[in-house]
Structure 1
Amino acid sequence: MSFLVVLIITAAVVAVAHRCIHRMPWLWYGLAVALDLLYVAGVGLNFPPAALRVLAPVVQQGMAATSLFVIVMYCGVFAESSPVRRAIGPIRAELSLMACILALAHCLNYLSSYLGPLATHLDALAVNQQASLLVALVLFVLLIVLGATSVKGIKRAMRASVWKNVQRASYAFFGLIFVHEVLILYPAALKGVGDATSTLVVGAVVFGAYGVLRVGRFVLDRSCARAAASPRRNDLEEEASRVYVG
């Protein structure tokens, strides 16, 4: 249940500190970098096992980064007028950058574990590992692109339509996170490893619920937009009719 715990803690921190994140984003970027460096130092300097047990799921396994991405994506399922959307909407870019910084430690850690087999024979990896590596490479490219375009200076330099189209890749990115998670964890889950099984179940609920809710929000928003446009269209038709009769 580690992912669920990390997700709850991350959501609580964001809920309490969203104004601070909006006012001082560089402080939070620095904290994300510090957390990455703390994990690297912990491995290199042999921190106590208790400390590493905390840092491993948070940083090494990418659960903090994934939790931030979950919060960013779930923001879109709430109505524009909702308290959640008003609190999280203005800091989605900042949360995305924090997630990208934290995800880099995860990416570099696992890339090092693949370098040996890749330097000799790719077939030294199991099929699920080969597939997860391919998905991971796609995720890494998307991570760099989405992270870069979340920087406000780069966003301002891009045409709005281009930026919006690039950001639509976040839906593919979000879905591929779960695919990558399944490819990595399902062998352990099949063997009955408790944490792997529970992480997959929680992930399936979180990612599956997002898909359903996001589609529902899209349909509801389209319906509301059409309903709002109908009175205006009727007013115009009535006005045109009066002009014609007169």
Structure 2
Amino acid sequence: MPIWFTRYVMDIFQRGIFSTVTFMIVMFLGVITTHNKYTRKLMSIRGEMSIIGCFAALCHNVAFGIRYFVEFFTNASKMNVYTKTATIISLILIAMMIPLMITSFKCVRKKMKAKNWKNLQKLAYPFFYLIYVHLMVLFMHKPEKHMLSIVLYTVIYMLYTVLRIRKCLITKKRQR
């Protein structure tokens, strides 16, 4: 493959950027209170977008897991604290992501009680925030090198948090 393709296309998938952005879109759609024709269309395929994000995340985990999961389970003492912590978080994320992915398939969702499905899907919130923690752990190894990414992800997650709280307050106000 040409270097430009590897650097600008493959790296987006391998490093987990595509899956993270996909999860961001899915999560931000959940906090939008005013819908237009574009957001309604995206809402109609939100489950499918989540599944795509999960498959991309699994590919990311295979790409890095070949080295880091194997090293973690065979010789964790050689890993630095950042890598070891990020690996543990990755394993937790995978354990959380699998049921979220499976229940995002319409054929599975239809067989579940609505309340059970909704309760399980609430796992998406800690999953989403744990992605941020995973990223920050990796970036803290060399923060000066990753300062732009640290700032961008922090702003995005803070904005999501504000919008999530806002939507929660609006929903509670409507229920009264």
**Is the structural similarity TM-score above 0.5?**
yes
Aligned partner of 2:169 in structure 1 is 219
State yes or no: 1:170 paired with 2:124: yes
1:201 Cα deviation from its structure 2 partner:
1.0
2: CA distance, partners of 1:115 / 1:221: 42
- Contact 1:132–1:183 under 8 Å retained in 2: yes
> Structure 2 counterpart of 1:219, which letter?
L
User: Which of 11, 21, 24 is 1:67 aligned to?
Assistant: 21
User: Which of 67, 86, 104 is 2:40 aligned to?
Assistant: 86
Higher RCO, Cα 8 Å, sep 6+ = 2
- Contact 2:72–2:84 under 8 Å retained in 1: no
RMSD: 1.5
Q: Give the share of equivalent positions with the same residue, in percent.
A: 29
Gaps of 5+ in 2: none
1: CA distance, partners of 2:65 / 2:76: 14
Number of positions where the alignment pairs a residue of Structure 1 with one of Structure 2: 175
Aligned partner of 1:53 in structure 2 is 7
After TM superposition, the score normalised by the length of structure 1 is 0.68
2: CA distance, partners of 1:95 / 1:82: 18
- Contact 2:103–2:109 under 8 Å retained in 1: yes
1: CA distance, partners of 2:69 / 2:111: 37
Change (3 A) 1:120 1:103: closer
Alignment of structure 1 residues 1-246 onto 2, 5 Å:
47-79=1-33, 81-83=34-36, 85-189=39-143, 192-193=144-145, 196-226=146-176
Higher helix share: 1
Superposed structure 1 runs of 4+ greater than 3 Å apart: none
2: CA distance, partners of 1:112 / 1:218: 40
Change (3 A) 1:124 1:218: same
1: CA distance, partners of 2:84 / 2:128: 20
1:73 Cα deviation from its structure 2 partner:
0.4
- Contact 1:76–1:85 under 8 Å retained in 2: no
Tell me, what secondary structure is at the counterpart of 1:58? helix
Change (3 A) 1:115 1:147: closer
1:117 Cα deviation from its structure 2 partner:
2.6
Which structure: larger Rg?
A: 1
Change (3 A) 1:197 1:87: same
1: CA distance, partners of 2:57 / 2:90: 11
1: CA distance, partners of 2:11 / 2:156: 17
Gaps of 5+ in 1: 1-46, 227-246
Q: Please list the CA deviations of residues 78-128 of structure 1 after superposition, one character each: whole Å capped at 9, or x if unmatched.
A: 11x521542322111011011111111101011011145335421111111
After TM superposition, the score normalised by the length of structure 2 is 0.93
